[in-house]
């Protein structure tokens, strides 16, 4: 097997990995402050992709608005819309469940997933609709020296990495981040110091949701946009989160990237196992390091 | 006392159901009811949310289908083989999943179940997306022809009653009491000297086995092991059934399975709207109806008495 094939698959794997990283980062940020797992994270990723698709090609046909939201604008518009949906979900529903067992949060967001998925399945083909709005500047391929790689995919990798590490930096190295970490550590005490913890919770949930929406927009030109695109992904991301442990932000990012890479390389060496390799790695981690690679057991 | 009356009512309803309903449809509901009861044993009594029970339900269906079709097992033996497979799988999954708690437990079971789903999709004997077809109903004990749908019905009803009985006995045993103690306060149960992990694992295995029993029976009824039985959406459906009927109540899952099953059947013409409606019921249940139908009824009765 030539080195080129392996490198190519590794890069494609990294491309999947950045989506895992963005989603598991969002899950980890939300889990840190709210102690719930957002099952709807996959549905929000799907929603992001659909907002980009509808904004580009269906606004006139559906709503009679002669406006086209291009790819670059979608990168801003979709996360904002998904974030607003996140605010609504948190304020109207999740907020009332904090006193209860955390599994109710999971069940609620599972119900929301079914609703979102079902709604889009009514209007769009389950096998997927291609997103036509990939910008001209990002079409074609770039010569990386050892291979030609699609420009758009390279852009998606770099862009996602920047977003992930910027998030990490904000949380670990800014005043805002230190307040957030205080809220994670001890919400009651943080509130007593005069910080508005409920608002922080809402905005954190909205931010995590927006991150999922952003990942959806980035994924739209690569994969076809389909109502089921988030559901299949989110279960893998759950396994990523179990492997990484949700104790650290950097852990969530790194395990996402690494597992995408592993999945990509499995495609080269033993293709049938590509869809299950992450789950088997999860089994190994549970056997030998149950708290996860970067995890602290709560 | 109330339970005894309800049990007799359920028996009468079950025995007479073929008189006024389509037997195959009722058999389908019975399988889901048993599946939900098995799931409830775990979530309702031990407080463990498994998001991967479709693996046992669907996995057992494939094994039963394979051994009856390819190896000529009789239906009863085939069903036992399916349930036995679910038991072994349950032991393995349970062993791994109880290493994490709460929300992680749910994620681990979901991810493990996805392995079974992909195996069902990719292994050579499973028929991929079409599922395993042409499973023979065969003859019970080599004598009684199960192709007659009424005979089949009473066979399935007997399996349901046995499965339900096992769950009822489990809940109302010292073992069941310990499970509920773990659900209420795990650290206290541990400090009282109970080997918590041991109890959790055993509960998981019993639940998985009975979920497998339900799935195996379904494969014989429909002569078909469907890929959707192993899909995570099936795991979600069984949660919904249990939640609607009443978490941690004896008859709740049965009521929930009948309601959700009948609803999905009635609405099947509406395509994806079914999903939207089920999702909405899910949200409503979690927000304002967490006791479920039987749970709310019990509360009303006890309030009247108190």
B263 has a chain A CB within 8 A of its CB: no
CB atoms within 10 A of CB B252: 28
The separation between the first and the last C-alpha atoms of chain B, rounded to the nearest angstrom, is: 17
Tell me whether residues B115 and A36 touch, CB distance under 8 A. Answer: no
Structure tokens at B27: 């058999």
- Residue A117 within a domain: yes
The whole-angstrom separation of Cα A292 and Cα A282 is 9
Supply the angle between the helices B174-184 and B196-222 in degrees, to the nearest 10: 110
Burial B186-202 (b: 16+ CB within 10 A, else e): beebeeeebebeebbbb
Q: Is B289 helix (H, G, I), strand (E, B) or coil?
A: coil
B115 contacts A239? CB cut-off 8 A: no
β-sheet bridge partners, residue A149: A142
- pLDDT given at position A298: 46
Let me know the angle formed at the C-alpha of B246 by B243 and B252, rounded to the nearest 5 degrees. 115
Closest among B207, B217, B235, B236 to B82, alpha carbons compared: B217
Half-sphere exposure of B76 (CA within 13 A, CB side): 10
Q: Is residue A276 part of a domain?
A: yes
Torsion of CA A41, A21, A155, A129, to 10 degrees: -30
Summarize the confidence of residues A176-201 as an average pLDDT. Answer: 88
- Residue-wise pLDDT for B51-106, tens only, equals 999 999 999 999 999 999 999 899 999 999 999 999 999 999 999 999 888 888 99
Q: Between A111, A235, A275, which is nearest B286 by CB?
A: A111
Instruction: Please check whether residue A129 lies inside any domain of the structure.
Output: yes
- CA–CA separation, B125 and B132 (whole Å): 8
Nearest CA in chain B to A239: B111
Which of A67-81, A283-297, B61-75, B233-247 bottoms out in mean pLDDT, i.e. has the lowest?
A: A283-297
Residue of B nearest to A102 (CA): B103
Q: From the CA of B75, how many Å to the nearest CA of chain A? A: 32
Residues 6+ apart with CB under 8 A from A73: A55
Q: Does B125 touch chain A (CB under 8 A)?
A: no
Q: Where is pLDDT greater, at B85 or A294?
A: B85
Q: Are A128 and A223 in contact (CB under 8 A)?
A: yes
- Contacting B with CB below 8 Å, chain A residues are 31, 35-37, 93, 96-97, 100-104, 106-108, 110-119, 121-122, 227, 231, 235-236, 238-239, 241-242, 272, 275-276, 279-280, 282-283, 286-287, 290
Per the model's pLDDT, the better-predicted residue between A191 and B160 turns out to be B160
Whether residue A232 lies inside any domain: the answer is yes
Cβ contacts of A31 on chain B, cutoff 8 Å: 103
Domain boundaries, chain B: 23-232
Would residue A257 count as lying in a domain?
Answer: yes
Domain coverage including residue A15: 3-288
CA distance A258 to A272: 19
Q: DSSP string covering B8-23, please?
A: HHHHHHHHHHHHHS-H
pLDDT at A34: 84
SS3 B224: strand
ipTM of the modeled complex: 0.91
| Of B65, B60, B66, residue with least CA distance to B84 | B60
B128 interfaces chain A, CB cutoff of 8 Å? no
Q: B110 and chain A: CB distance < 8 Å anywhere?
A: yes
Question: Which pLDDT band, with edges at 50, 70 and 90, does A146 fall under?
Answer: confident
CATH number, domain containing residue A72: 1.10.3470
Q: Residue-wise pLDDT tens for chain B (306 aa)?
A: 678 888 999 999 999 998 888 999 999 999 999 999 999 999 999 999 999 999 999 999 999 999 999 998 999 999 999 999 999 999 999 999 998 888 889 999 999 999 999 999 998 888 888 888 888 888 888 778 888 888 899 999 999 999 999 999 999 999 999 999 999 999 999 999 999 999 999 999 999 999 999 999 999 999 999 999 999 999 999 999 999 999 999 999 999 999 999 998 888 888 888 999 999 999 999 999 999 999 989 888 888 876
Alpha-carbon distance B180 to B40, whole Å?
12
Q: Which of A198, A204, A202 is nearest to A176 (CA)?
A: A204
pLDDT tens digits, A267-279: 888 888 888 999 9
Chain B nearest C-alpha distance from A144 (Å): 35
Alpha helices (H) in chain B, listed in sequence order: 2-20, 23-40, 46, 54-70, 75-97, 102-122, 149-171, 174-184, 186-191, 196-222, 232-245, 252-266, 273-288, 292-305
Which residue among A107, A115, A121 places its CB closest to the CB of B286? Answer: A107
Q: Give me the phi and psi of A196, to 5 degrees please.
A: -85, 85
Smallest Cβ–Cβ distance between A241 and the set B107, B272, B278 belongs to B107
In this model, does residue A296 exceed pLDDT 70?
A: no
């Amino acid at each position: 097997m030539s080195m080129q094939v392996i490198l190519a698959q590794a890069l494609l794997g990294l491309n999947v990995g950045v989506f895992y990283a963005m989603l598991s980062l969002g899950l980890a940020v939300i889990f840190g402050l709210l102690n719930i797992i957002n099952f709807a994270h996959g549905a929000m990723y799907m929603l992001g992709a659909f907002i980009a698709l509808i904004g580009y090609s269906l606004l006139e046909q559906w709503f009679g608005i002669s406006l086209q939201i291009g790819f670059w604008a979608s990168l801003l518009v979709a996360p904002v819309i998904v974030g607003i949906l996140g605010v609504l979900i948190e304020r109207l529903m999740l907020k009332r469940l904090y006193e209860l067992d955390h599994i109710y949060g999971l069940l609620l967001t599972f119900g929301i997933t079914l609703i979102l998925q079902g709604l889009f399945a009514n209007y769009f083909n389950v096998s997927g609709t291609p997103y036509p709005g990939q910008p001209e500047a990002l079409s074609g391929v770039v010569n990386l020296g050892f291979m030609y790689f699609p420009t758009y995919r390279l852009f998606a990798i770099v862009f996602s990495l920047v977003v992930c590490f910027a998030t990490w930096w904000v949380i670990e190295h800014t005043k805002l981040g230190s307040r957030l970490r205080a809220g994670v550590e001890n919400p009651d005490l943080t509130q007593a110091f005069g910080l508005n913890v409920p608002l922080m919770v809402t905005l954190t949930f909205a931010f995590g949701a927006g991150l999922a929406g952003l990942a959806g927009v980035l994924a739209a030109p690569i994969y076809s946009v389909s109502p089921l695109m988030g559901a299949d992904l989110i279960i893998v991301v759950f396994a990523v989160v179990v492997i990484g442990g949700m104790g650290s932000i950097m852990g969530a990012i790194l395990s996402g990237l690494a597992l995408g890479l592993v999945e990509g390389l499995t495609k080269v060496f033993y293709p049938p196992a590509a869809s299950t390799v992450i789950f088997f790695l999860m089994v190994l981690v549970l056997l030998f390091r149950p708290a996860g690679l970067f995890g602290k057991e709560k | 006392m109330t339970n005894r009356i309800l049990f007799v009512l359920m028996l009468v309803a079950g025995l007479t159901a073929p008189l006024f309903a389509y037997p195959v449809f009722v058999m389908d509901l019975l399988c889901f009811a048993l599946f939900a009861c098995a799931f409830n044993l775990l979530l309702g009594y031990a407080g463990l949310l498994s998001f991967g029970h479709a693996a046992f339900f669907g996995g057992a269906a494939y094994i039963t289908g394979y051994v009856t079709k390819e190896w000529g097992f009789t239906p009863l033996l085939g069903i036992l083989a399916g349930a036995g497979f679910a038991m072994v799988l349950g032991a393995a999954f349970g062993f791994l999943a109880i290493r994490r708690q709460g929300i992680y437990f749910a994620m681990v079971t979901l991810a493990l179940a996805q392995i079974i789903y992909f195996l069902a999709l990719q292994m050579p004997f499973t028929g991929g997306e079409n599922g395993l077809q042409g499973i023979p109903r065969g003859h019970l004990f080599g004598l009684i022809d199960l192709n007659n749908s009424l005979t089949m019905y009473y066979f399935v009803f007997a399996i349901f009653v046995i499965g339900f009985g096992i769950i009822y006995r489990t809940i109302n045993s010292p073992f069941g009491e310990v499970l509920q103690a773990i659900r209420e306060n795990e650290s206290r149960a541990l400090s009282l000297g109970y080997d918590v992990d041991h109890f959790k694992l055993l509960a998981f295995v019993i639940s998985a086995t009975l979920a497998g029993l339900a799935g195996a029976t379904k494969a014989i009824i429909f002569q078909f092991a469907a890929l959707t039985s192993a899909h995570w959406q099936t795991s979600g459906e069984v949660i919904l059934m249990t939640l609607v009927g009443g978490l941690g109540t004896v008859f709740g899952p049965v009521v929930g399975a009948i309601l959700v099953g009948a609803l999905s059947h009635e609405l099947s013409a509406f395509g994806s709207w079914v999903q939207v409606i089920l999702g909405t019921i899910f949200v409503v249940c979690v927000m304002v109806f967490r006791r479920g139908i039987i749970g709310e009824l019990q509360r009303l009765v006890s309030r009247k008495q108190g």
